[in-house]
Amino acid sequence: MTLKRKILTGYGVSFVLMGLVVAWAIANLIALGRATDAILSENYRSILAAENMIDALERQDSGVLLTFLGDDGEGIAQYRENEAVFLEWLARAKDNVTVRGEADLVRSIEADYGAYRKLFSAPGGPRGAEAAARPGVRYQQAIHPIFAKVRQACIDLRNLNERTMYAASVRAGDVARRAIWSTALVAALALTAALAFSLLLSERLVRPLRRVTEASRKISSGDYGVQVPVEAGDELGNLAGEFNQMARRLASYHEMNIEQIIAEKNKSEAIISSIEDGLVVFDTNLRVASINPAARALLEMPLGQGSAPSCADILPDERLCQIIRAAVENGARPALPDERRVIAIRKGETTKECLFSVTAIRGGDRRLSGVVLLLRDVTRLKEVERLKSEFVMAASHELRTPLTSLGMSVGLLLEHAVAGLAERDRELLQAAHEEIQRMKALVDDLLDLSKIEAGRIELEFESVSVATLFDHAKAVFKNQLEMNGVSLTAELDAAAPPVRADANKITWVLTNLISNALRYVGKGGHIALAASVIGPCAHLSVRDDGPGIPPEFQSKIFQKFVQVQGREAGGTGLGLAICKEIVRAHGGAIWVESAPGQGSKFIFTLPLAR
């Protein structure tokens, strides 16, 4: 039998038992309905007829009394009116004889009522010949006894039907009680049978699944030799057979690939060990899960260390541990500028500078399983960069004096000897003067950049409002903006808090960014300055509607001597590099948001004044 047929059989038995209970309940309801109908349809009509006959008879008797009192017209009219009513209800009572003894009572009522009518219809009326002499005696002796007899017979008819109705109601109650108890008994038996059958069927259906579940647990724990007994030929039996086949294939696959997995693991460990950069793997609890020899030597960790150390135990910089913890919590690689990715590690009497990188590790289910910390020793690179900066500074100093002399000489020639020169010679002299000025600007920029990189720049921090910085920058370009037909606006909240900065240096950053924007914004263009507060920093921006910057240059333009290719060079290529170092010296960061054809937006941050 298939699994589907077994389930349908279980449902079928339940439906049959339910139908049995419903049929039994319907039969009991029909019996109860018949008993109730008997009460209402048989006895109630006779009781109603008796009540109406009593009422009509009493009204007739009232009419008789009126005639004895001398009001013949009113008395006879009332008698005749109720006589018709009495006869009508008497006819209904004769048609509804259903109880033993009821027919005798009806015949008695009919006979006595006939005598009562004859007395009323006798010559001289109900009063008779001597009515004038003794009216009360005739009523009491002749009419009232027959009236009382008819009335009592009607009352007996009513009582007989009431007793019969009460007996019928008692029988209906007994039928209802029997129906309730019998229906409850049948329902209980049906529910018991259905429950027993359901338990039996569910056990037969669940037992193979339970065995498959238990076998799955054993396979997940590494026992690939487990087999599930096949007890039936239904779908569950097929499932057990397919499960056994899968277990056999997994066992053979495990035997074939265990050596390959071990070989791949050894290969990965060999690759990690051969990496010259330090590599540390942390689990989600920030404990060391794996470490290569380079990192062990860099962090001076001895071999054979017992328990896995935590991040704080091996890393001297608490800031780096916080970055790793943030990567575990967010599950993403932290976005940090290069200058914030350098830490100093003391090794004996020397200090190593390392560039670090933090990367989250995700498993096949995309769940975070750990974090990889890569430490690259950049001590020699930093030393080379320092020597280069010192060389550039020394060379710039050496070049400044001859350039100043050349500039003064060419300037004197332009002032005093230009009148005696030919047009071609004047052009050459003017070009030489412009090149000398450009070289002097380049040397000045190199000296400023070298001082900033060497940390010898002097910053005069003060609490200054952003509106003041914007006003100083706008004042520098007032005439140039009017000549080029470019508008410069500032968007600033009046309640914006002041920033902690060197006003002259930040004004230089703003003017450099505005100057770059003017270089590429055409006539009728627009440059916008804006400021907003996000967290503990103020975000200042310079936005233009120029041609924009290609994505491949957006991360390079802050390097020295880098300019966007295909555009006219109008500067030394050091302005943005100097801006970056000035902002960095203030504890902020600078970046650009741009798309070709949609303008550019340079943003930098400054700390708020406390």
Using alpha carbons only, give the angle 561, 564, 568 rounded to the nearest 5 degrees.
95
pLDDT tens, position by position, 373-411:
888 877 777 776 666 666 666 666 566 667 677 777 777
How do residues 89-137 score in pLDDT, each as one tens digit?
A: 988 888 888 888 888 888 888 888 888 888 877 655 555 544 444 556 7
Q: Confirm if 291 and 279 have CB atoms less than 8 A apart.
A: yes
Say what angle helices 144-220 and 102-121 make with each other, to 10 degrees: 150
Given a contact cutoff of 8 angstroms between Cβ atoms, the answer to whether 300 and 313 are in contact is no
Asked if the model's pLDDT at residue 361 lies above 70, the reply is yes
pLDDT given for residue 290 in this prediction: 81
On whether the CB atoms of residues 126 and 171 are closer than 8 A, the answer is no
In the CATH hierarchy, which top-level class contains the domain 277-381?
alpha beta
Fold category of 462-607 in CATH: Heat Shock Protein 90 (3.30.565)
Q: What is the greatest pairwise CA distance in the chain? A: 182
Q: How far is CA 410 from the centre of its chain?
A: 75
pLDDT of 166 higher than 90: no
Instruction: Categorize the per-residue pLDDT at 511 as very low, low, confident or very high, splitting at 50, 70 and 90.
Output: very high
The closest of 497, 491, 507 to 601, measured between CA atoms, is 491
Predicted confidence band of residue 486 (pLDDT cuts 50, 70, 90): very high
The pLDDT of residue 554: 84
Q: Output the CATH code of domain 385-454.
A: 1.10.287.130
Q: In angstroms, rounded to a whole number, what is the distance separating the alpha carbons of residues 42 and 109?
A: 19
- Give Rg (Cα) of the chain: 58
pTM for the model:
0.43
pLDDT digits (tens, 9 = 90+) for 571-609: 667 788 889 988 988 889 999 999 888 899 999 999 998
Considering the domain delimited by 3-126+134-190, tell me its CATH architecture.
Up-down Bundle (1.20)
Q: What is the 3-state secondary structure (H, E, C) of 527-579?
A: EEEEEEEECCEEEEEEEECCCCCCHHHHCCCCCCCCCCCCCCCCCCCCHHHHH
Q: How is 370-392 classified by DSSP, letter by letter? A: EEEEEEEE-HHHHHHHHHHHHHH
Query: Strand, coil or helix: what is 221?
Result: coil
Which residues is 281 bridged to in the sheet?
290, 372
- Residue boundaries of the structural domains of the chain: 3-126+134-190, 222-274, 277-381, 385-454, 462-607
Q: If you average pLDDT over every residue of the chain, what do you get?
A: 79
Are the CB atoms for 558 and 577 separated by under 8 Å? yes
Q: 277: part of which helix (H) or strand (E)?
A: none
Distance CA 108, CA 102 (A): 10
Interval 165-177 mean pLDDT: 79
Q: What is the mean pLDDT of residues 323-350?
A: 76
Highest mean pLDDT of the ranges 326-340, 444-458, 531-545: 531-545
C-beta of residue 171 within 8 angstroms of C-beta of residue 34: no
